[in-house]
Amino acid sequence: MFDSYDIIVVGGGHAGCEAAAAAAKLGKKVLLITMNLATIGQMSCNPAMGGIAKGQILREIDALGGMSGIIADQSMIQFRMLNLSKGPAMWSPRTQNDRLLFASYWKKHLESIQNINFWQETVGEILIENNQVIGVKTLRGITIKSKAVILTNGTFLNGIIHIGTHQTTGGRNGENNSRGITEQLNSLGFKSGRMKTGTPPRIDARSIDYSVMEEQKGDQTITGFSFQKHTSQQITQQKSCYITYTNTKVHQLLKDNLAYSPLYNGTIQSTGPRYCPSIEDKIIRFKDKERHQIFVEPEGWNTIETYINGFSTSLPEKIQYQALHLVRGFENVKFLKPGYAIEYDYFYPTQLYPSLETKNIQHLFFAGQINGTTGYEEAACQGLIAGINAVQKINQISPLILSRSQAYIGVLIDDLVHKGTEEPYRMFTSRAEFRMLLRQDNADLRLTKIGYTIGLAEKSRLSGVEKKLKETQYLKETLKKTKIMINNEIPQEKKSIHDLLKRPGMHLEQFKTGQYRDIIKNYTEEILQQTEIQIKYEAYIKKEWTRAKQYDSLAKQNIPITIDYDQIKALSNEGKEKLKKIHPKTIGQANSISGVSASDIAILAIYIKKLTNHS
């Protein structure tokens, strides 16, 4: 009935979409299997993309040739660049999106790729021969062969939805969960755990009093995520979001009903996201706060459905409803859907290689929430890398491994496979040691050549990067040669615009008028911004490059496959245990393992050097 495929992708969420698109564009015959073809690319939680660190990831996906940034730009209803009051390492793009448009654009894109076929069903078993994947078997008993399989199951593996004391099986509200895969993988030696995440109620926009809330408008300048501006929708108007706050009455009502919360009555035992807590968690963990922000976010251009960001909850519907009625602006609020918590299976990501291939089974890849992450962006970048590396594996080519100094994607995957996680992993700028190098504005300069070499980024993308590099360098040289007399300084002397830009408060914007305007008038805002950042933060960038080179030099040192850690007596017991468990391939990977100390790394490096000298 079915042909065999090069790659089967299980799951049609953000990870699955990127994985399928990448593998197919790289010439492989792909089958995307999902439980519901109508929910491909669905935004299960908030209708937004990007944000702090996540925006950087989306720009990296775009630079490599992925699609999430383009889809987000095409479906945006609002754009904001966050953290502009801070340095450029912290600037993070974010879009509010039309939920339905986002999913429809993803589906349309995937259907436009001839190499992708689709099948609506649930996969219940992975087919394995000689410790290698050979396909999948569905719950209806259909066998489909392939050379590689990518699991992107999201929250569907044995998912249980909680609303108060009511429990239902499901991977998303209104959809069934997925059974069989966890049990099979556990029997093969994989270690799994349980995680929890949640979502807030959706309410009727017509029942909200926006006049008493703080309006949050979009930016006048829309940068977007994609470096390919011609692919993005240039919206002429934006929808506002709004901010309101909880209060002591809300908090008291919630406290009085915690016994009905599965988070607090013992029903839910699994770990939830620390940095995106439920409203129940907030009122307990932050008892001193009299109020918490609630972001009122529209779900699209033509819908009344509104997302209540900041009010994730699993309390009974009645309590959710009563609590929101006490919030300013929600006095007459009407519910569309209640909030809920969901528990699901994940697999400890230390069981993966940095390629996202499993260590236990060859040609089997995991991507997304199955690896313990949370967030669309974290899932999408894993899907992209898994899709690329599944192709590389089939072609017997070395996998794409991005380092911590190359990309936030590299930081994320390195953290997962070497440190692991026992709570939903979310990316932050603070996780990156070299965040001055990993800015959102230079993702194309860092990664597009890699994407082009692999075969995912088009020639036009590479040409755009080369043009950007050339124009930026030319403008920098011009600004070095252009000197201005500073009259209010003693001694009076001419200084180059290049040097003046290093001063606080000096910007290229100030030279757009006056006698020097001709120098910069023919450059785009992107080139002007890139030039100014490189000049103003030159010393910091050079310092980080030096640190990154030192780190990468050590990180690339290979650890012999035959190494016996028990023979290295000076290693700490914890370090020895972790190294034996994870089997890092390089010193850099060993250095990323939680529990392996700096002294352990020094001892290991000396030991390897002695082995090399004696061989």
Q: pLDDT, tens digit, for every residue of 552-590?
A: 887 788 999 889 999 998 898 888 998 998 888 888 888
3-class DSSP state for residue 353? coil
Residue 186 half-sphere exposure, CB side, CA atoms within 13 Å?
Answer: 10
3-class DSSP state for residue 344? strand
When pLDDT is cut at 50, 70 and 90, the band that residue 346 belongs to is very high
pLDDT exceeds 70 at position 347:
yes
Averaged pLDDT, 389-401? 98
- Residue 8 in tokens: 């089967």
Length of the chain measured in residues: 615
Averaged pLDDT, 250-266? 92
Q: Does domain 462-540 have CATH number 1.20.120.640?
A: no
Residue 132: predicted pLDDT: 98
Contact by Cβ (8 Å): 399, 16: no
Averaged pLDDT, 108-129? 97
CATH number of 5-197+344-454: 3.50.50.60
pLDDT exceeds 60 at position 231:
no
Residue 1: predicted pLDDT: 53
Averaged pLDDT, 325-334? 97
**Three-state SS annotation for 493-511:** CEEEHHHHCCCCCCCHHHH
When pLDDT is cut at 50, 70 and 90, the band that residue 233 belongs to is low
- Residue 163 in tokens: 């609303």
Contact by Cβ (8 Å): 9, 23: yes
Candidate CATH numbers 2.40.70.10, 1.10.10.10, 2.40.30.260, 2.70.98.90; the one for domain 202-339: 2.40.30.260
Mean pLDDT in the chain? 93
3-class DSSP state for residue 274? coil
Contact by Cβ (8 Å): 356, 365: yes
Contact by Cβ (8 Å): 360, 351: yes
* CA-to-CA dists, residue 363 to 134, 156, 412, angstroms: 8, 22, 21
Residue 210: predicted pLDDT: 98
Averaged pLDDT, 394-414? 96
pLDDT exceeds 60 at position 360:
yes
pLDDT exceeds 70 at position 232:
no
pLDDT exceeds 80 at position 481:
yes
CA nearest neighbour of 42 among 102, 96, 94, 95 = 102
For 556-614, give the CATH class. Answer: mainly alpha
Residue 355 half-sphere exposure, CB side, CA atoms within 13 Å?
Answer: 21
- The burial class, CB within 10 Å (0-12 / 13-18 / 19+), for 294 is buried
pLDDT digits (tens, 9 = 90+) for 510-551: 988 888 889 999 999 999 999 999 999 999 999 999 988 888
Between CA 541 and CA 434 the distance in angstroms is 9
Residue 597: predicted pLDDT: 81
pTM above 0.85, yes or no: yes
Residue 443: predicted pLDDT: 98
Angle 348-372-136 from CA coordinates, rounded to 5°: 75
Q: What percentage of residues in the chain have a pLDDT greater than 70? A: 98
Q: Where are the domains of the chain?
A: 5-197+344-454, 202-339, 462-540, 556-614
pLDDT digits (tens, 9 = 90+) for 54-73: 999 999 999 999 999 999 99
Residue 230: predicted pLDDT: 61
DSSP class of residue 217 equals P
3-class DSSP state for residue 597? coil
DSSP notation for 96-140: EE-HHHHHHHHHHHHHT-TTEEEEES-EEEEEEETTEEEEEEETT
pLDDT exceeds 60 at position 209:
yes
Residue 574: predicted pLDDT: 86
DSSP class of residue 209 equals -
